Amino acid sequence: MGFAMNAIEVMAFAFVTFIGLVALVALILFFVDRFQTHDAIRRNYPVIGRFRKLFSGLGEFFRQYFFAMDREELPFNRAQREWVNRAAEGEGNTVAFGSTRNLSVPGTPIFVNAPFPPLGDQFTKSEPLRIGPTARIPYEAPSFFNISGMSFGAISKPAVQALSRGAKEAGVWLNTGEGALSPFHLEGGCDIVFQIGTAKYGVRDEHGKLSDDKLREVAAHETVRMFEIKLAQGAKPGKGGILPAEKITDEIAAIRGIKKGHDSQSPNRHREAGNVEELLNMIAHVREVTGKPVGIKTVVGSEQVFTELFDAIVARGDDCAPDFITLDGGEGGTGAAPMPLIDLVGMSVREALPVIANLRDEHGLKERIRLVSSGKLINPSDVAWALAAGADFVTSARGFMFSLGCIQALKCNKNTCPTGITTHDLRFQKGLVVEHKYKRVARYAQEIRHEVETIAHSVGVPEPRQLRRRHVRIMMENGRSTPMNEILPSYSPVSES
C-alpha cells in the first residue's frame, strides 16, 4: 500500500512539474512572439500563431497520404507512383474493376486498338538502333527506354551504384548528368552517356575550359558510349545547374574538379556555343576528339531555333550534325530550380516533340539524327505516346528515382531526402540498400519495355518503334478524341495512312 502511494505521489509531482514547464515555455514564447517584428501572425497571436507554420508543413504529408485521390497529386500522382513501385517489385500490374483515370480530360492520349492484332508468334521485340553513323565508334543502342541524366552530387553514391548495376542487368544506358564520371557509374558495367554540362565537370582544365586530354581520358572507357552536350534542362532552361555547398563532399569536389565550401553554380550556357554555327563546331570537335557519338540536350522554346539548326546542318553537310537530340520538357525535373523557371519557361515535351520530329524529317535528317524524349515520361502510356509522336528513344530520371524508393518528399535540394537518394547524409543513405534497389531498377526498365510492347501489339504493330501518330487519339475540349496525325500530321513525302 505504501509503495502504491509513493508511486502516485511521484507521478503527481512529475505531472505538476511537466505542466509547470509547459506553462513556463509558453510564457517565454509569448514574450518572444509578442516582441519579434518579422512575423505578423506570431506578433498578433503569440504561441498559437506558431501552429500555422507547423500545420502548413504537415499539410503536404496529410494531402499525400489521407486526402489526395489517386489521380490528383502533382508532379506525379499516386497511381503513377504505384505503377512504378509494382513494376520495380516484380508484382503484377493488372488492376480490377476498371480504370480510375478520367479519360475526358483534354490532352489525354487514347491508343487505337486494331481489329485484327498480330498473333502471338507475330510479335517481335525492338532491335538495337544505331546512333552516330559517322563516328569512329558508333553506338548500337539496345533499348528504347533508358536512364536520364542524374549527376553524382545531385544523387547519392548508393543511388548511382544501384542505377549502374540495374542498368547493366536491364540492358539500358545510364546518363551521368552534368556532375562528371564517377567510379560508381562505372562499377556496374552498364553503357554510359557522359553529359558535358556548362561547367565542364570532369572534362575541364584549371580555367574551367573544355580539356581535350580529359575528353580522351573519359572516352577511353569502353562503356562510355556517347557524349551529350547539355544546353538546357527542363527544371531550369536558361540557368545553369546548382549544387548546394552542403552537398559537396571531398569526393564530389575531386570528381568534378571544384572547391568545397561554396555552392557550385554552372554558367547558363557554354561559352564555346553562342550560336548555331558555334554549336555545330563544338559537336564536331568533341566527336573528333572522342571518336564517339555526340548529341545535345535542350528544352524547346521556339521552332525557329531548330529550323536554323537544321538549315545549317543541311548547308554544311550532315557530318556536322549532332548524332542525337534529347528534348526535355519545361515541366521541371529532378534538379532544384527557381519556381518561375519550373512553372513558366520552356515548352512541354507533349507539344515540342511532334514539332521537332517534323522539322527534323522535313530536312531529311530522320536517319541521321536520333530523337530522345524526356520530361515526365514514367509510365508505359507515356513512353508509347513519345514513340508514336516521333521519338527514337525515351529517357526518364524521376521514374527511376521512384524505382529506387523515392516517395516524392520534395526534399531533393535540402540534403535531407528520407530515402537516401538525393542526400549525402550517411544516416539517410543507409536506407538505400544497393543489393536490393538495383534489382528494382532493372525490373522497372524491363516492365516498361514489356508493357509498351503490349500497347504496340494492341494497336496492330509488331514492335514499339512502329507506333505512329495515327495509332493515338487525343481527347479534345469538346469531349471527343481526335487522331494525333490529324492534329499535327507527320512529315512524309507520302501522306500517312
Provide CB contacts within 8 A for 3, sequence distance 6+. Answer: none
Model confidence pLDDT, tens digit, residues 54-110: 766 666 666 665 555 555 566 777 778 887 888 888 877 777 666 777 778 888 899
User: Is residue 252 within 8 Å of residue 152, measured between CB atoms?
Assistant: yes
Please give the average per-residue pLDDT across 115-128, as a whole number.
Answer: 79
Number of Cβ within 10 Å of residue 7's Cβ equals: 10
**Which three cell numbers mark 395?**
529517357
- For strands 173-175 and 324-328, give the pairing: unpaired
Q: For residue 273, what are the CA distances in angstroms to 231, 340, 411?
A: 9, 25, 33
Give yes or no for a contact between 432 and 420, defined as CB atoms under 8 angstroms apart: yes
Cα atoms in the 13 Å half-sphere on the side-chain side of 95: 10
Asked if 297 contacts 233 with a C-beta cutoff of 8 angstroms, the reply is yes
Q: Which cell is 206 given? A: 584549371
CA distances from residue 38 to 19, 30, 46, 425 in whole angstroms, order as listed: 30, 15, 13, 32
Q: What is the pLDDT of residue 406?
A: 84
CB 26 within 8 A of CB 47: yes
List, in order, residues 6 or more apart from 485 with CB less than 8 Å away.
468, 469, 470, 496
Residues 143 and 172: beta-carbon distance below 8 Å = yes
- Which phi and psi (to 5°) does residue 484 adopt? -60, -30
In 273-367 the beta strands, taken as DSSP E runs, fall at: 294-299, 324-328
In this prediction, residue 259 carries a pLDDT of 78
pLDDT above 60: residue 27? yes
- At which residue does the C-alpha cell 535531407 appear? 416
Q: Is the pLDDT of residue 269 over 70?
A: yes
Q: Residues with Cβ < 8 Å from 1, sequence gap 6 or more? A: none
Which amino acid type is present at position 39?
D
The Cα–Cα gap between 172 and 149 comes to 13
Q: Quote the percentage of the chain above a pLDDT of 90.
A: 48
Please report the beta strands in 128-287, taking only residues with DSSP state E, as ranges in sequence order. Answer: 129-131, 139-141, 145-147, 173-175, 191-196, 224-230, 242-243, 264-265
Read off φ and ψ for residue 82, nearest 5 degrees: -65, -35
Name the grid cell of 390. Answer: 516521333
User: DSSP string of 45-60?
Assistant: STTTTHHHHHHHHHHH
Q: Is the pLDDT of residue 496 over 50?
A: no
The full 3-state SS of 2-38, as one line of letters, equals HHHHHHHHHHHHHHHHHHHHHHHHHHHHHHHHHHCCC
The answer on pLDDT for 168 being more than 60 is: yes
User: What are the tens digits of pLDDT across the range 183-235?
Assistant: 999 999 999 999 999 999 999 888 888 999 999 999 999 999 999 999 987 66
Choice among 232-236, 340-344, 365-369, 409-413 with the minimum mean pLDDT:
340-344
Contact indicator for 331, 305 with CB cutoff of 8 Å: no
pLDDT for position 488? 87
- Residue 325's DSSP bridge partners are 296, 371
Q: What is the pLDDT of residue 63?
A: 61
Do 120 and 209 form a contact (C-beta atoms < 8 A)? no
Q: Which three cell numbers stand for residue 54?
A: 507547423
Range in 162-171, 310-319, 326-335, 460-469 with the lowest mean pLDDT: 326-335
Query: Residues 64-99, buried b or exposed e (16+ Cβ, 10 A)?
Result: beeeeeeeebeebbbbbbebbbbbbeeeeeeeeeee
Distance CA 493, CA 53 (A): 61
Least confident among 149-163, 175-189, 361-375, 418-432: 418-432
**Per-residue model confidence as pLDDT tens digits over 408-427:** 877 777 777 888 888 888 88
Residue 271 neighbours by CB under 8 Å, 6+ apart: 209
Name the one residue in this structure whose C-alpha cell is 508505359.
Answer: 380
- For residue 201 the three cell numbers come to 565537370
Q: For residue 119, give the C-alpha cell.
A: 498473333
Which letter does DSSP use for residue 127 in this model?
P
- Whole-angstrom Cα distance, residue 355 to residue 107? 16
Q: What is the pLDDT at residue 58? A: 64
For Cα atoms 329, 333, 339, give the angle at the middle one, nearest 5 degrees: 95
- pLDDT score recorded for residue 497: 40
- Asked if pLDDT for residue 330 goes beyond 90, the answer is no
Cβ pair 267, 198 in contact under 8 A: yes
Report cis status (omega within 30 of 0) of the bond before 464: no
Q: How confident is the model at residue 1 (pLDDT cuts 50, 70, 90)?
A: low
pTM for the whole thing? 0.84
Tens of pLDDT, residues 441-480:
999 999 999 999 999 999 999 899 999 999 999 999 998 9
